[in-house]
Amino acid sequence: MTYHYPQLRRAITDDTRNGVLQDFPEISQIIDADIRDGVVEAWSQALCCSDFERITDIPPDGNPGAPVLKSGTQADHVRGVFRYTSIIAREFEQTYPQVNIDWTVLLAGAACHDVGKPYEFDPTNRKRWAEAPAAAGQPTFRHSVFGMYICLIAGLPEEVAHIAVGHSFEGNHMGVSAECMIVRQADHGWWHVAGALGLVEEQTMGGLASNLRSRSLSRSTPTRTGTA
Ligand SMILES: [Fe+2]
């Protein structure tokens, strides 16, 4: 049996951190400096444990292979979910001022909900898992689970790691925090609206709602393979 250990494939440098902030500038909206730095460190750690140099190098899929966006990168998705999360929370806060939302946890959780994707999407890991699926699983960890690990080793609080692990299917098996529920709705809503508007490859939408129908795009857009 060969054992594998999640470890850095290259050193984390300021170039790594600057790349994270350039690809995901909304991170700067997190007011708490320690948490904000932790988010940058988490993404830097995740990238350097993979072959991906930048968030913009990661394919924009929900999971590897499904749902698949026709164009763009993972940065488009995570930035969209971050902004969508803010809109949902602000709407409720403005209409119901009596609600309590921890904005630091909310925004850090939104920023880190997919921080495990460099691991799950990494070509080297995926090749290893495909060659021997029963050896260590396929994948060994989904991005939500690996994201929780990354958040914790980056020094982020449990409340943020909880959002990483609870934003996806794993959250169906546990009670989730209010902030986690907002990020879940933003993430799932983002994918369903993207599917309805024709931004997702139709044959990869099986994991989305069965009543979803995809509208044609009105003008040609760049795709991974040409134009659509
Ligand atoms: Fe996501």
The per-residue pLDDT for range 135-187, each reduced to its tens digit, is 999 999 999 999 999 999 999 999 999 999 999 999 999 999 999 999 999 99
Predicted local confidence at residue 47, as pLDDT? 98
Neighbour count for residue 186 (Cβ, 10 Å): 24
Supply the pLDDT for residue 195.
97
| Ligand 1 center–CA 111 separation, angstroms | 10
List the domains of the chain with CATH numbers: 14-204 (1.10.3210)
How many angstroms is it from 4 CA to the middle of ligand 1?
A: 26
CA distance 180 to 162: 7
How far, in Å, is the centroid of ligand 1 from the Cα of 74?
A: 9
Find the 62 Cα to ligand 1 centroid distance in Å.
6
What is each CA distance from 71 to 138, 193, 212, 223, 227, in whole angstroms? Answer: 26, 15, 20, 5, 9
pTM, rounded to two decimals? 0.95
pLDDT of residue 154: 98
- Give the C-alpha separation, 159 to 156, whole Å: 8
Q: What is the 89 CA–ligand 1 centroid distance (Å)?
A: 17
Distance 128 CA to ligand 1 centre (A): 24
CA–centroid distance, 114 to ligand 1, in Å, is 5
Give residue 219's pLDDT. 75
42 CA → ligand 1 middle, Å: 16
- Residue 168 Cα to ligand 1 middle (Å): 8
pLDDT at residue 135 in the model: 95
Please provide the average confidence, as pLDDT, over all residues in the chain.
96
pLDDT of residue 1: 82
Write the pLDDT tens digit of every residue in 80-117.
Answer: 999 999 999 999 999 999 999 999 999 999 999 999 99
Residue 227 dihedral angles phi and psi, to the nearest 5°: -130, 155
15 CA distance to ligand 1 middle (Å): 25
Average pLDDT over residues 182-201: 98
Express each pLDDT in 50-64 by its tens digit. 999 999 999 999 999
Question: In terms of Cα–Cα distance, which of 76, 101, 61, 98 is closest to 26?
Answer: 76
